[in-house]
Chains A and B, each alone.
Chain A
């Protein structure tokens, strides 16, 4: 499967990012939405904006709170853990996703090592402006 990079600015200062569309579904209710996510090999886990989780019908509290994790800023944050279905290019997978209020300027979801790179072999080709995903068998 091949996906195109996203370009946020044209010309000088152009930002090309490996952001692709997936389908995210609540396994219990079947409610789903399309959601653009950044493929981030530097992320250990998959993290989606809490607004997406709320839209899918999840509630967030102690029952699914996963404690605190620390990212590059050094500030600990609370995550909420849920099992969801993601569809990538039509291929369905059940993964563990974490929901939190993402920073204002980074609200696309992030798919990382656990929940994405363990499902796909990922090839980034910046010059061709494409990402290739091969499902692992």
Chain B
């Protein structure tokens, strides 16, 4: 089982929210906020998009700063 490659999605949508189809690689819509991406997806007829945010910069992740 190989990883899902988000490298192209990351390059194209850095710093944006994206709404994905169930396959987790097809981008339905994007936006500066989760709501914008989500609403655009609904307008396109997708009832249950998967939301995620592409980081602007991809720094190594160490723990989680709240």
A-side interface residues toward B, CB under 8 Å?
2, 4-10, 13-17, 19, 21, 23, 32-36, 40, 42-43, 47, 49, 51-52, 54-55, 69-75, 77, 79, 100, 103-108, 110, 128-130
Contacts and interface: CB of A to CB of B under 8 A. Distances in A.
Contacts of B2: 4, 129
Nearest first, the 10 closest Cβ-Cβ pairs linking A and B are A34-B50, A71-B66, A73-B65, A107-B53, A36-B52, A72-B63, A105-B55, A51-B34, A5-B3, A129-B3
Given A23-B48, A72-B63, A100-B66, 16 more contacts: A2-B1, A6-B4, A6-B6, A7-B6, A15-B58, A33-B38, A33-B51, A47-B66, A51-B17, A55-B35, A72-B62, A72-B65, A73-B66, A104-B56, A105-B56, A130-B1
Contact of B10 (A9, A32, A42, A74): A9
Contacts of A79: 66
Interface in B26-58: 33-35, 38, 48-53, 55-58
A70 B66 contact: yes
Mostly, the B contact residues are loop
A51 B33 contact: yes
Nearest to A129: B3
Interface residues of B, number: 34
Contact of A54 (B10, B35, B52, B65): B35
Given A71-B66, A106-B61, A128-B1, A8 B52 contact: no
Nearest to B7: A10
Contacts of B4: 4-7
A51 B56 contact: no
A35 B61 contact: no
